[in-house]
Structure 1
């Protein structure tokens, strides 16, 4: 999905991907988006809304760190891919469903995974990891700052 973005957006993302875990705050700042951990309604993981001429992402402060990071990446993906459809705001539930179509949510999930877990970086880190599959999965999840569930899905996609 990243290859579908304009060059300047790809450059911002690539710079933030130079270190692991990816520096999501750098991406958000580059696009003028503020990110705040907040207490959101039950079942809501995150949202993106216009705020003072810019955009603001809120993530559920009660979610795990890995979950929060994926939520921020998912909301950034909505900004990059669907900015014209955000309107007064988009809230995503725990399954990353919103008022946008399932296709739009799937696009946001794919771009979020591409941002957080670049294919070649995941392949290289997996090749260098040792131990049982479960130990390697935990190492990779920690290394990329995501949940084991997100990393397991990504490993299926890049293998």
Structure 2
């Protein structure tokens, strides 16, 4: 499943492989894409950042003081910038807690959409929505654990 039309076939294959096992192993995917990932103490209100560190090398720093689920979404979001907006990164790009940066709202929306699609693949979400024998709260909690995301991210993706 190709997540976005801007992604080449080789990268789409890596993504398809990664989403074959949930929760998605984002660190492994980043390594296969050639992106270094670090957990770091970032300024208050900054969730993550991506910077060019060499000729064609990039590094992502994730705020170590946020929840693991938040860190996962931030990493997926920054990978979205790497794959979709590499030409816009320049010397670096920082996203605040609301995933806003110096880039346009549409670019941030694309990175958020990419992160949601990567962490919570549509076909898996559709399977969960068929679980009518559970309450909405139970479904949200199950999806949160299943995908390794926050309850809020799961709720938004499930459309509940």
* Distance (Å, rounded) in 2 between the aligned partners of 1:147 and 1:141: 6
Q: Which residue is 2:130 aligned to? A: 127
Q: Which residue is 1:102 aligned to? A: 105
Q: Which residue is 1:60 aligned to? A: 63
4+ runs of 1 displaced by more than 4 Å?
A: none
Alignment partner of 1:136 is 2:142: no
Q: Deviations over 1:110-138 (max 9, x none)?
A: 01111110000111134347532101100
Secondary structure of 1:42's counterpart equals coil
**Matched length:** 157
Any conservation in 2 of the 1:126–1:140 contact (CA below 8 Å)? no
Q: Which residue is 1:2 aligned to? A: 3
Which residue, 41, 49, 52 being the options, matches 1:50? 52
Any conservation in 1 of the 2:140–2:155 contact (CA below 8 Å)? yes
Q: Which runs of 5+ in 2 are unaligned?
A: none
Alignment partner of 1:85 is 2:91: no
Any conservation in 2 of the 1:47–1:57 contact (CA below 8 Å)? yes
- The alignment's TM-score, normalised by the length of structure 1, stands at 0.93
* Distance (Å, rounded) in 2 between the aligned partners of 1:128 and 1:101: 37
Any conservation in 2 of the 1:129–1:139 contact (CA below 8 Å)? no
Q: Which runs of 5+ in 1 are unaligned?
A: none
Secondary structure of 1:18's counterpart equals coil
- The alignment's TM-score, normalised by the length of structure 2, stands at 0.93
More helix by share: 1
